[in-house]
């Protein structure tokens, strides 16, 4: 069975979007994974297909209703569905490469895209939604975050990337940012490729890359340095 993604959104036309091209698009066409975009408004009961209401206690904006979201989630993900249900939310736990690997190794995901001021808290608890954030900023809705998460997961599915080692040898794979990359020409505007990379000595190349990755991580992401469970070389 392919890896299954279901997205609940007010804007199903946003999918597959960029996921329909490049590696993800080829994998989608090749049935390595599948994508269903469910219109939350289809679960509304009034003629205007209303999905939100004013926040209890007052305040600006609108809140997505729990009853309508519950119907939408239950229709897309029945009780025996083994896939985790995730709400894209700026207050959620940060999305990490570790969580991406866990999700890509499972049966798929059910992603709920909030809008307005958010969703009724009761839907989070009753439908056991895992809240995940793609960054410390606020977007207009969860759709772009869903695209980010799906792209991160799909590229790790078996058969998607041309070189299987690519997924293991990149930023965050071992808690470090990726080392600098170079390719031809040998010299560009007076700057040459580091000599060690053309030496043919694989041990020296590996040591150089590790050292450069550590320097970059310490300088640009001190919150990741030193790596958890590890130590400076």
Strand, coil or helix: 184: coil
Residue 107 included in any domain: yes
SS3 of residue 11 by DSSP: coil
In a domain, residue 232? The reply is no
Residue ending a domain, choose from 129, 154, 179: 154
pLDDT of residue 19: 98
In sequence order, the 6+-apart residues with CB closer than 8 A to the CB of 95 are: 132, 133, 134, 148, 149, 152
Q: What is the pLDDT, as a whole number, of residue 229?
A: 60
The β-bridge relationship of strands 3-9 and 108-113 is parallel
Of the three residues 124, 154, 184, the one that is the final residue of a domain is: 154
Which residues form the domain of 194? 169-224
pLDDT of residue 168: 59
Print pLDDT tens along the chain (233 aa): 799 999 999 999 999 999 999 999 999 999 999 999 999 999 999 999 999 999 999 999 999 999 999 999 999 999 999 999 999 999 999 999 999 999 999 999 999 999 999 999 999 999 999 999 999 999 999 999 999 999 999 999 999 997 554 555 666 767 899 999 999 999 999 999 999 999 999 999 999 999 999 999 999 999 999 987 655 44
Residues 199 and 143 in one domain: no
Tokens found for residue 49: 């297909």
Q: Identify whether residues 115 and 148 lie together within a single domain.
A: yes
Assign residue 192 the CATH number of its domain.
Answer: 1.10.1270.20
Identify whether 179 is part of a domain.
yes
Q: Estimate the crossing angle of helix 22-29 against helix 143-154, to 10 degrees.
A: 70
The pLDDT score that the predictor gives to residue 233 is: 43
Q: Is residue 229 in some structural domain?
A: no
* CA distance to 155, 169, 178, per residue, from 162 (Å): 10, 13, 19
User: Structurally, how many domains does the chain consist of?
Assistant: 2
Strand partners, 3: 33
């Amino acid at each position: 069975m392919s890896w299954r993604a279901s997205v609940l959104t007010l804007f199903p036309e946003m999918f597959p979007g960029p996921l329909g091209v490049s590696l993800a698009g080829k994998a989608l066409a090749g049935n390595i994974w599948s994508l269903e975009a469910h219109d939350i408004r289809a679960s509304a009961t009034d003629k205007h297909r209303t999905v939100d209401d004013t926040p209890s206690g007052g305040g600006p904006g609108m809140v997505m209703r729990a009853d309508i979201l519950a119907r939408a989630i239950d229709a897309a993900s029945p009780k025996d569905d083994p896939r985790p249900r995730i709400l894209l939310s700026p207050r959620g736990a940060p999305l990490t490469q570790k969580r991406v690997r866990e999700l890509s190794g499972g049966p798929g995901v059910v992603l709920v895209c909030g809008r307005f001021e958010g969703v009724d808290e009761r839907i989070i608890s009753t439908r056991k939604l895992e809240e995940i954030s793609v960054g410390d900023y606020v977007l207009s809705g969860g759709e772009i975050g869903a695209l980010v998460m799906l792209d991160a997961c799909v590229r790790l599915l078996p058969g998607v990337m041309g070189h299987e080692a690519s997924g293991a040898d990149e930023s965050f794979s071992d808690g470090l940012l990726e080392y600098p990359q170079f390719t031809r020409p040998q010299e560009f505007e007076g700057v040459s490729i580091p000599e060690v990379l053309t030496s043919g000595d694989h041990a020296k190349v590996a040591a150089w890359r590790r050292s450069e990755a550590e320097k970059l991580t310490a300088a640009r992401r001190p919150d990741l340095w030193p790596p958890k469970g590890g130590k400076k070389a």
